[in-house]
Structure 1
Amino acid sequence: MRCKVLIFVVLLDLIKHASSDEIQANPNTNATLPCNITFQGNTLNVSLIRVRWTRNASSIAMFGGAEEQIKEGFSWDPTNFTNGDFSLTIMRASLSLQGVYECKVSYNSEDLPSTNVTFSIVAPPTVSVPQKWVLLEKETEFECFASGFCPPPVFFSWSIEEQVIKPPIQVDGEPGPDGFYTAVDKLTNFYPSKENQNATFSCKVSHSGSDHELDFHLNVTNLPSVRLSVVQTRSSNAPLTLYCDVESFYPEEASVSWFQNGTMLPDPPVTNQNNDRTYTTRRYFTLSPEQRQQRGTVECAVNQPGVVDPVSTSADLEKLDPQDEAPVLTNAAKASVAMMCISIVLVFLLCFGFSWSRRDEKQKSLTVSRIILPPRVIVGQKGRVSVSIEGRRVDRVQTTWFLNDTPISDTSLTGTSRSNFNCLYTPLTTIHLPSGLTLTSPASEKGPLLTSRGEMGYYKLHTQGPLHSSGKGSHLISALTFVPQISLHKGAVFKCHVSYVGKDKIVEERVSERFTILSPPEVSEIQLADTENNPDVISMTVRATQFHPDVITFRWFCQGGELSPVASKASSSPRPNSEGFFSAFSQCKLPRSEVEKGATKVWVSVHHIALKQPITRETRGFIKRPCVSDLISFTNASDQTFSLGCEITDFYPPNISVTWLKLRGGEEDDREEEVIEGGELWGPIQTQPRLFRATATLKRKPNPQEKRDKAGGVTCRVQHCSLKEPIVKHWRNGENAAPTIPPSVSVCWSSEGVGVFSIVLKRGHPKAKILWAAGGHTLSPLVSSETEEIGDDGQRELKSVCALEKSTSLPSLPEKLSERRRSSQAIKTKAAVTDPDSEEIQYIDEKVDGDNKDMDRYEETISEEEEEEDSYKEAKADTSALHINKVNLRADLRESEKSCLRVCVEITHPALHIPVYRTWTEANEEISSSA
């Protein structure tokens, strides 16, 4: 006994005390409170350990001997106690769990130094700025809200186009019922101008070392100028017609009301009823000056229900609006006319000299159509807007397109920004290699549109013509292809300015109508869950996301008819997310007895304007798809039995079946043979109210033939009512077999400095991982392509190919390649992998759109555009093109000689303890390898 006491005293002297800590966590996350004591000496006896965690003198968790108590919401791992780790984990942290926690540990009834841990919640704020209309050049006040944060304070700052207009200011905020804080800051004494209409405003909130920024744009109201006028009449007893000119106002929505002596005047009735119960009405139409000069016949037609031919009357404008009658002028009027005629003659004589140099302007009259919009504008799908121009000199016409008031440039072949990738723009170019291979350097199909706002867009400008036609002259079509985005195009209009080449004067301007951007919804499956406070009712919920506009309809049905939803966010206007898309959900409830047994089929139909057909989701009860792990194998050394097993988790209902089959190998397509007996299923065991798990095992003793068959294996097939197709897991003989690795890599260089490196791995299981890297003193990872095939010997082969181009400076655009920007040729990966040294050369050319000056009809231009879009999609979907890696080699700062190129491939496999490397070095140096 005395010896044990002495050993324990020595053990206490060797204990290292744990230090106090401060732990912070976000709400609803797990947090670990450390309590670690390092013992130097023998292994601890768990029966002598006593651990207790307290907070504010209240016990949280306690362990002693065979007894263990821990409150709900906390967890720990007693198996770590023998290692001196007594840490406590808080599940789903909340404000109520903040405070100072104390960890007390004793060993063999001797108290060890305690540990104090301060736990607190850190919640980032949610930033919002209420949108409102502001008056132009009128004092305006903005409010920025930061809600749901903890602890205080936060710091607010304001900026316009990244220029700070109000420095950071500290605000403590007010606590809410849930314990989180809300703060608000105001931007006052701000006078909006016209330049602020499209400017980006930012409210930045800093909290606990992190920044949260919200960008918004102003809705500026421009007050109109109003002028009241009267239509003169000859009689004072006739009705008096007034008109009000409202000019220079924004936005377009505006209404006009009339008042007399402070009392609002009602709108005049459209029709009046006669004594014989018939109706009388008078309608007005104002002819524009151009329409009035056209003269001709004016007709008024009246259409009525049930009448095939409308009743109409017509009159000649020469009679209604005579212009050849000699007006009766007074002497003063005659004098004014005489002076006006003299002034006109003088002006004509002064301008006669200038008119001679501009005599051909009479031939420059143009007829410009309205802007034609696509019938449906869908997010992410290309749309086309166009305008038709007709005239005698359309060959000298140029067009400029605008989005609202921002000019649009062609971004269809714009390269990646240098600031993002530290490289210059390289267009789509082709490099020819020996042995019949070609490499393609890809070019981006998207570039910046509005750089001041940091947004991206795809725009492609087309001009077809001039096409010769009869009548007024030639025909020209100007079109614009764009990819709709809600952030750019919502509520926007396209403008087209028509002018002559070399002239600043705008001949014609056309403005399109506002168009609605469509985005079809993404509809989830029907999710079933328990109803609170009513265990006999199951709630069914379906969600629709990423749709636009916000109007969406959910209709629920069962086999007996249509159901009424109990909760829905579809009828009201949901708030859009940061990208401008909307989300909504709908919920329906049914008795548990009908849902769980699957006797009642329930489905929901989702209707939206962007859908040609409604989306339908259905369910036959509360079901959950199982999750099946990979097969794990092990061998019992005592009886040499071979066992396989897998975990099947989170499924419902509990009915599940497992079938084991023998797998034949050695062929390109593995085939299953007879069913293997001896499989067992442990479970199902319930883990949650409607979730189960099970374990499938197979114990067998393989025969000598199966031991020799290294290519065969076993298949585990899991079937459940929630699966349309069974879940299949394979296990092969010789798992974790290392592949055969060649001693070196193969390389082929082209005359243009592009090298193709390849390596072939034979056999092995599972598939090895291959990583290529290249450089000088340091290496950078490269992009490669791998294919897996069956070799001549019937074994699987993994072939990897990597192409690179070396340089000693940043890449530039050669002049000879800039002339071929419209050609696209690519190396086929499969051919390069199979035989990099092939002598037969095959080129793949893709044609892109070009100018076609012989088109005769506008419909043909649209057909050409559709063919071009199909070609673009095919080229983009071609995943077999081999990527060219750019490797820059610069002169070493310490030496005058240029760095040598090194290309290295790293091969990792579970059967290899460390990776295997194969290296190729420039200047015919020896190929090194290490394993």
Structure 2
Amino acid sequence: MQCKVLVYVVLLTLIKHVSLSVIQTSPNTNATLPCNVTIKGDLLDMSLVKVNWIRNSSDIASYGNATTEIKEGFSWDTTDFINGDFSLTVLKASLSLQGVYECTVSYNSSVLHSSNVSFSILAPPSLSVPQQWVVLERQAQLECRANGFYPPPVSFSWTRDGQVIQPPYQVEEELTPDGYYTAVGNLTFYPSREDQNVIFGCKVLHSGSYEELDFQLNITYLPSVKLSAVKPQSNYVPLTLYCDVESFYPEEVSVSWSQNGTTLPDLPVIEQNSDQTYKTRRYFTLSPEQRSQQGKVECAVNQPGVVHPVKVSVDLDKLDPQDEAPVLNKSAKASVATMCISIVLVFLLCFGFSWRRRDEKQKSLIVSGMILPPRIVVGQKGRVTVSIEGRRVDRVQTAWFLNDTPIFDTSLTGTSKSNFNCLYNPLTTIHLPYGLTLTSLASEKGPLLPSKGEIGYYKLRTQGPLHSSKSGSQQLISALTFIPQISIHKGAVFKCQVSYTGKDKIVEERVSDKFTILSPPEVSEIQLEETQKDSEVINMTVRASNFHPDVITFRWFCQGGELSPVASQASSSPRPNSEGFFSAFSQCKLPRSELEKGATKVWVSVHHTALKQPITRETRGFIKKPCVAEIVCSTNSSDQPSTLGCEITDFYPPNISITWLKLRDGEQDDREEEVIEGGELWGPIQIHPKLFKAVATLKRGATHQEKKDTRGGITCRVEHCSLNKPIERHWKNGDTVAPSIPPLISVCWSSEGVGVFSLLLKGGHPKVKLLWTAGGPTFSPLVSCEMEEIGDDGQRELKSVCALERSTSLPSLTSKQAKKQKNRPAIKTKAAVTDPDTEGIQYIDEKVDGENNNIDRDEETISEADEDSDKEKEDNPGALHINRINLRRGTRENERARLRVCVEITHPALKLPVYRIWTEPNEEISSSA
């Protein structure tokens, strides 16, 4: 008894108190509440230790007398108690779990340690700006919505082109039913022309960190509207009105007509001004009945983002005065007739002398240079325009070319084959049993453009003829809208040829300058990893991809100034991909100690000509990739419940996600299904100031259904912020059974020289893998088709079929036989695939000797057979590829190498792959030679 008291006193002197105060985490993540006791000795009797976790006077977890109680939603690892670690893990943190947690550790009924931990949720807001349409020089109000944040409050501020236009201000938040908050910040201002294409930003300050959303405004320019009428010849004919709408933006506008409150129809025509605004004139003809009604005529202009349309109304009395036409007497009529005859005679005399000169003058055209857009970005529409002025522009036609290739309008054709001059691959088909067909490609015309057969988007549009400023001349604008693609338009030029309708002579031709296609880079987050040679140095890597042109700059910064990237890994030589885009990466190094302190902030700025502003990426802190062990099973007995375990070690930060998946058996080996129940995560547990470990477990029952569900295998998927893709570990039951493999490959040949090789495997688990090859001295891989079904004996049967044609071993054919071979008739008997020795195998081209010798058949009969064969091909969508093998000639003349066909059979129950080989007999070589 005295010895026990002495040990207890020694333990009290060797134990010191450790306490942490505040823990914050994101929603639906795991968080560890620390409770650690530092022990300086090895003497600790766990039977005398008691641990209690309490929140709001409610017990959360308790340990004592070798018994453990813990509420749902929490976990801890009792094996770490011997090391003085009594931490509690909160699973899937939520608002309801917030509060102050108290940890009490007692030894032999005496309190050794007591600490309080404040646990709370920190959820940043998500930002949105719903309304982005404003009216030029009219008061506009923008809303910035911050949703789903906790805790309150938040502060809003607004920026324009990176400059603060409204300093931070706090608004009143609103509580949502799910316990989180939402708030709305407003910005009131008067938009100007300088605000077009300018980046505005909404910044929200929440719990010491900023969230920012950038956007561009859509500005509407209100038009000037004027309503006029075309002077009629009399009061009893229709009256034509027109409404001039000028200086508006954007192009989308609608004009409505009404008379005395009744809406009238309208047909739109829109033109573009030199200042990039638009104008249009809308006509409407009033019938004599409508003219007689008089009253007010109104023209209303509606635009996107405008609540109240611009309107103008005029009384018909002012536009159309109803005065009676004067009545001429007989003498006045005679004078008018004499004057008209004189004028006609004078006109005819003048016309005869000036006809030729006038005709040449009317035919002359003034064609402007080709206008390209200032920025041509991949995936965004660009427009190329040419302006044509002259007296006869209404009879002018234009033809567009990319380099020397004609361009056709593809904006309305969609994928219609009748309107696309593109590459198609029609198929010639032979039908086989089990729904298979043999196919061979047939050549067609080339693509529309010479670069990889791609079809660009082109929209041709002609505006006019319009009245020009010059007297007597008109203006015609021909425009080509296209979507830039690097593979098609890089280094290309546009060409426009102007001619008169019905004439082959080209009047004028204009060629554009070569233009540069821009594609902004996609920049990754900064990835941190240890160097292989020195673990105390951290590599920071950022990658830029899918950009064009290839000039790009990376600049690294820290709080102390600019950093230098690693010279050997800098972005001096970006690499292009198959599509013509470039990718590059840049690296920078820092000591581990600087990053682990958390005081060094590192960021990289990426500059490219396609970017209006550089892209910036910041570090997330020190990251360590996890090490994932193989899955182990706690018991091997099939009649008892078992537990699968997967250990994850050496990772940072501690946030990690585990998902258990089960794989189905048979044909559906590749399908995954998430396990709903039984998965648990023990940890994460801190084993180093910057390292954690955890154990993922899955409990499995011993029922027949559980065995059936996991027959295909179980996968543990680990996801972490340091991983580009998840790490997976697979586990399968041990009941692997090898299939029954036949000793030989079955083969049957058609009269056209197409051989069908087949192999039938029975039973086995899991599914077997097959690889077909063929050749002479060396093998080449072949394309095959596998079908799986259940046989009469209840076993699974796998049938693999491979079609092969020897291109150099076919005998010479007559013209009719060659035409018949093109049709590729089908094999009638199903047994021809699985058993070539079965009696009754017959081919469609195999007839009685007398029919075979009748080579003088009527050509119409052959044509009908071809049509029936083509119809049969269309009814069978499945297709089996015909593999072609070219065998080299031997040393002797007319000597060919022997054809060999081999199939490799791989299965987990087989220690080595099994091979089945078919070799061509010598008789066939001599006959084919």
Name the TM-score class by shorter chain.
0.3 to 0.5
TM-score, structure 1 as length reference: 0.37
